[in-house]
Structure 1
Amino acid sequence: MTADNDIYYINLIIEGNSNAFSVLVDRYKDLVFSLALKMVKNREEAEEVAQDTFIKVFKSLSQFKGDSKFSTWIYKVAYNTSLDRLKKHKREQSVVSIDEFNSNQIRSMDNALDAMEDDERSKAIQDCIKLLPSDDAFLLTLFYFEEQSLEEIAKIVGLTANNVKVKLFRSRKKLTAILKERLEPEIIEYYEKN
C-alpha cells in the first residue's frame, strides 16, 4: 500500500504539485535522519545530510524509475549524501580488531545478550553500533532495524547481494567485539546475581 501511495505522490509532484512532497518528507524524514546519524555520527551534520538528501530527491524525482521501492531509492540517496559528507570532512573512523573472533564466539555473545531485557538489549546494541565505522553502522541498521533485504541493501550501496552478506558478517564481528568489551562485565555480574 505504501509503495503505491508513494507513486501517487511522486506523480503529483512531477505534475507540478510541490506541496505533495511534504507527505514524502514526513513519511521518510525519521528514517533518513537515523541513517544519516549512523553514518556521520553527529546530530547537526546528520540534519544537514537529511536536508541535502531531500533536496536531491526533490530535484531528481523525475529520474525515479520505480525499478525498486521508493524507500530503497531514498536510502541510496541518503547513503551517498552521507558518504559525500564524510569525504568532505575526511574523518578518521575507529577500527575494531576482529582477529580474535569466530562464528561460535559471535553466537555465544548473541546468547548472552538474550539474557538482557529487550529494551536494554536494543539500547545497548544501538549504543555500540554508534561506535562502529559509518559503513558498518549503516549496513547493520538497514538490515536489522529497517529490515531491508540483502537485495535492497545491495541496490542502496551499489554492491552485489553476496558482497553485502560478507560485509554484514564482518560488521557483526566488529559489533560483537564492541559488545564483548562493553557488556561482558555487566553479563558476568548478571549471572553472578542469578
Structure 2
Amino acid sequence: MKKIVTKLQHFTSYVTMSSTIDQQYVEKTLAGDTMAFGYLVEKYQDFVFTIAVRILKSKEEAEEVAQDSFIKAFESLSSYRGEAKFSSWLYSIVYRKALDSLRKNKKHRGIELIEDITEGTVESIDNALQFLQDEERKKAIRDCIGKLSESEAAIITFYYFEDLSVREISGITELSEENIKVKLFRSRKKLFTLLKHSILPEISNTNGRAI
C-alpha cells in the first residue's frame, strides 16, 4: 500500500516546529489579531476541503462544510487547549461537520465488495500505477477512494495523505484505536479491489497485454 500511495515523510523536528508555529498563530488570534487566523486557514484549507469532499462526494457540499468548519474553529478557538495538534483539532471539526451534513441529507454511499488480495495482485497494481502518468495515477486513486464509504475514505485520507497515526485518527473520529485498525485493514482491501478492477483492465487494454 505504501508503494501505491506515497506517504509524506514528516520528521519529528518538522512536526514540532509546525505545531509550535500553529500555536503562535492561535495565541495571536485569541489576543485579538484576527488576521492571524488567516494563516491557519491558508495552511489547512486544501486538506480540510479534501476531507470534506472524500466524505460528502460533492464539491459544492464540501466547500460549504469546509467554510463552516473554519467558522466553527474560529468561534471555538478559546476551547483549543493544545493537548493535540491544532491540525488534528481542526480535522475533528470538519469530520463531524461532514458527517452532520450526511445525516441531514440522509446520504450514505460505499461498496462492500472485498476480494482476497495476494502479494502478486498488489505488485501487479503497483506496476500498473507506475505505468500511468502522474495525474492519471492521482485521479485513479482519488476515484477509487471516492467509492469507499464516508468513514473509510476519511480514515484512508488521514492515514496515507496526512500521515496521521492510529491514535490521532482515533481522537479525530472518536472511534477506538482497535476500530480504526479494523477499518484501515478493510478499507485497504476494498481500495485494492477497486484498483484491481479499474486499473488492471485499463492498462491491459492500452498495452494489449495483461500486467
Q: TM-score, normalised by structure 2?
A: 0.83
Tell me the distance in 1 between the aligned counterparts of 2:155 and 2:44. 18
User: Given the superposition, is the C-alpha separation of residues 114 and 47 from structure 1 closer, same or farther in structure 2, using an over 3 Å criterion?
Assistant: closer
* Paired-residue identity, %: 42
Offset at 1:94? 3.4
Q: 2:86 & 2:203 partners in 1: Cα distance?
A: 41
Structure 1: any 5+ residue segments left out of the alignment? none
Structure 2 gap ranges (5+): 1-16
Equivalences for 1:1-194 in 2 at 5 Å?
A: 1-98=17-114, 100-102=115-117, 104=119, 107-108=122-123, 110-113=125-128, 115-117=130-132, 119=134, 120-189=136-205, 190=207, 192=209
Q: Which has the higher helix share?
A: 1
What TM-score results when the alignment is normalised by the length of structure 1? 0.89
The runs of 4+ residues in structure 1 deviating greater than 6 Å are none
**How many pairs align?**
193
Shift in Å, 1:25: 0.8
CA deviation after TM superposition for structure 1 residue 112, in Å? 4.2
Q: How far has the Cα of 1:128 moved from its partner?
A: 1.1
CA-based RMSD: 2.1
Distance in 2, matches of 1:135 and 1:4, equals 30
CA distance in 1, matches of 2:150, 2:210: 36
Q: Give the 3 Å change call, closer, same or farther, for CA 65–105 of structure 1 in structure 2.
A: farther
CA distance in 2, matches of 1:151, 1:191: 45
**Larger displacement relative to structure 2 (177-186 or 105-114):** 105-114
Deviation sequence 1:143-165 (CA, Å, 0-9, x none): 11111111111111112322211
- Cα offset, 1:177, TM superposition: 2.0
Task: Report the CA distance between 1:142 and its aligned residue.
Answer: 1.0
Separation in 1, partners of 2:106, 2:210: 46
